[in-house]
Amino acid sequence: MSNLKNNAKDSLSFDENSPTPIYMQVKSLITNKITDGTWTVNTKIPSESELVKMLGCSRMTINRALRELTAEGILVRVQGIGSFVAEEKRHTALFEINNIADEIQARNHEHKAQVMVLEAIQADANQALVMQIREGQSLFHSIIVHFENDIPVQIEERLVNAAVIPDYLKQDFSTLTPNAYLMSIAPMTEGEHTVKAILASVQECKWLKITKTEPCLFIQRRTWSKTNVISSARLIYPGSRYQLEGKFAS
């Protein structure tokens, strides 16, 4: 990282007499470093403080440049870690039920998962309605954060029908995704989902390492195997790191 800083310091400078606003000059300096190959995909760029020292401009100016580059998909900012050169936005299928580990590995990237919650609960009235079971009946509840190359890209919160999938809590979901396990035990015969934009909760922002103002993509997905609702999942993606796509025919 020290060589990166030194190289950046040697070649990053702006023209104070230019009519172009300084924050736009800073954006151009950073994008030029990316387009000329000096800073490659997934490279961590100098921090706000380092850029302030290198360029001699205000933190507000640097912050605006980094925020706009993030909104434009050129950088990915991971709260508490730093800013990285972004890849082309990751895609997740809108009309398909895919395994996120397979999606990530298909891009030749590393998938890992961290299990936050794995427990048995009794269904409340709303959960019973969603899962088409009786109130008070047993459900399994899990929350898992999925990472791509150590960057959190999805929170998966899931309710699972305990009567149909009795061994769910015995699985190691740090190595096996719930999707892969459920498909192997009770293959999906029907599914439905809702897609919308949301702001994540405070805890979800911490898990995803995003600010509380970053929009997220949200999918509410319910799946059946024959006549049983097997699972209801809440999937949350940071909007700056993912986009949904789907294909359809007339």
Determine the pLDDT at residue 143. 98
Mean pLDDT of 156-184: 95
Query: Taking 80 as the threshold, does the pLDDT of residue 247 lie above it?
Result: no
Alpha carbon distance 70, 83 (integer Å): 9
Mean pLDDT in residue range 127-154: 95
pLDDT for residue 222 is more than 90:
yes
The pLDDT assigned to 245 comes to 54
With a pLDDT cut of 70, the percent of the chain lying above it is: 86
Return the domain boundaries, the chain: 22-85, 100-238
CATH code for 100-238?
3.40.1410.10
Q: What is the mean pLDDT of the chain?
A: 85
Q: What CA dihedral angle connects 25, 27, 32 and 34, to 10 degrees?
A: 160
- Give the Cα separation of 151 and 250 in Å (integer): 37
Mean pLDDT of the region 218-242: 90
Q: State the number of CA atoms in the 13 A half-sphere of 108 facing the CB.
A: 1
CATH class of the domain at 22-85: mainly alpha
pLDDT at 14 over 80: no
pTM value > 0.75: no
Residues 21-76: tens digit of each pLDDT: 888 889 888 988 888 888 888 889 999 999 999 888 899 999 999 988 887 778 88
